[in-house]
Structure 1
């Protein structure tokens, strides 16, 4: 019995080594498809659907669609990214009535200078700003917010890639009657290439509101597919996320989906 189990273990590790070698031959496109600092112009369409919110009546939900555009300049050393959210908030009251608000949220932009830029690792830092462009007070803060963004992506292995995005911002101007903002976010991301463009992924956002002692710490595990057509890399994915820790009104469960496009030079 012991020898049979030992043979199975040896066979399994041989399979892993063979699998790793096969994936390593696929090139860098799949590894770089999820790099936010890649030296390529990118257009992303991403959606967060949150059917369950903590500390909220059953039937309350939130949907955020983000349209993001990123482009490199200065020989690829600097990346500029702008993000526009289209938000829908559906609230169910205790008496059963519902109200829905939809529209544009607050526009965010950051610029990162890559002080580390190599084929296997990229690290950038720069200013982060959010403008009060929301079409309804419920959808935004009515504050100009400023801070910084730090992002890193490591792709030393063609099979495993990882990194993270850290942002911080606080209000510096805006409607004096609205509460000031002071918050940060940490987004770890990790990717495991399965071969033929398929991969497992996780990119949850851990959000911390320092003013209200509110926070959300989700975990995520999903699957994606990278397809290259001509000079365009298409990256499609779906990723369920569940909040392990939270305080305040936060998404308990959300489905993260997206279609990311990179335009190869």
Structure 2
């Protein structure tokens, strides 16, 4: 592992422009090896004051398929600490249905989600300094959760699409990622999966590597009633590209309030911190 890290650091171009590195880091399908650690702290679960912490480990690796195409692959493994969603009589009812774990603090792995995008290697130039990149591909979710309450118990898959726009004259990068997955195998006693994830993002780039950012994660569970279906957050934060020694880092901090959230299992708001090791390619 140490040898691999040293090799990647040696591959970083000395003259790699900070602005180009920042734009590549903000691009979900950028031609850039990276290792993000994204920590999401969710407050006010259900009708309680309890919290949930989800650390997403999500390395990104571009594979050069040809002179024209890349395959961007990103596995996302959540490490979860979760307090009960219920209290009082509701907790007693939940324990009767879900077992004693419904009333316990849980810690373990969630389901592994593997995102893959086929994307052109070169952006489409829409205007001077304005480039558009897109990607499409499959998403696979596997039941790796270490506790039933931390995952779905199902194998699920579906299509994904992403668009990234870099408007250098406006100092803006923006776009969105969307996918929907359906279960096709797994525990027959668990609920079917039919779920959408939509993540728009907007970054306003400032001098010296700083930027303002908003990247709310919207979700919809089509298998449940409308009052339990949607999570719609609003908010944002700030970040910066910098170096520790020769190692480029992308760090950001943001807060989001859920204007719509599931009645029984949703959170009121979220604090998100991300630390990403960047490895620009040759």
TM range (shorter): 0.7 to 0.9
The corresponding residue for 1:104 is 109
Q: CA RMSD in A?
A: 2.1
**C-alpha distance after superposition, 1:220-258 (max 9, x if no partner):** 210101114576431111100011223332122000110
CA distance in 2, matches of 1:68, 1:193: 24
Question: Aligned runs of 1:229-240 on 2, under 5 Å?
Answer: 232-240=247-255
Counterpart among 169, 172, 175 of residue 160 in structure 1: 172
**C-alpha distance after superposition, 1:71-94 (max 9, x if no partner):** 111256110111100011101521
The corresponding residue for 2:47 is 57
Question: Aligned runs of 1:201-240 on 2, under 5 Å?
Answer: 201-212=213-224, 213=226, 214-228=229-243, 232-240=247-255
User: Which runs of 5 or more structure 1 residues have no equivalent in the other structure?
Assistant: 1-24
User: Which runs of 5 or more structure 2 residues have no equivalent in the other structure?
Assistant: 1-16, 93-102, 125-130
The corresponding residue for 1:141 is 152
CA distance in 2, matches of 1:244, 1:78: 35
Counterpart among 192, 205, 209 of residue 197 in structure 1: 209
Question: Aligned runs of 1:39-118 on 2, under 5 Å?
Answer: 39-53=31-45, 56-73=46-63, 74-75=65-66, 77-91=70-84, 93-94=87-88, 99-115=104-120, 117-118=122-123
Query: TM-score, length-normalised on structure 2?
Result: 0.79
How many residue pairs match? The answer is 239
1:36 aligns with 2:28: yes
Contact kept in structure 2, 1:232 and 1:264, CA below 8 Å: no
Query: TM-score, length-normalised on structure 1?
Result: 0.84
CA distance in 2, matches of 1:218, 1:146: 25
Contact kept in structure 1, 2:61 and 2:72, CA below 8 Å: yes
**Could you tell which deviates more after superposition, 154-163 or 222-231?**
222-231
Structure 1 residue 70: Cα displacement: 1.2
The corresponding residue for 1:6 is none
The corresponding residue for 2:261 is 246
CA distance in 2, matches of 1:201, 1:225: 10
User: More helix by proportion, 1 or 2?
Assistant: 2
Secondary structure (helix, strand or coil) at the match of 2:72 reads strand
User: More strand by proportion, 1 or 2?
Assistant: 1
The corresponding residue for 1:13 is none
The corresponding residue for 1:172 is 184
**C-alpha distance after superposition, 1:80-124 (max 9, x if no partner):** 111100011101521799620110110010210014731722100
1:123 aligns with 2:134: yes
Contact kept in structure 1, 2:235 and 2:255, CA below 8 Å: yes
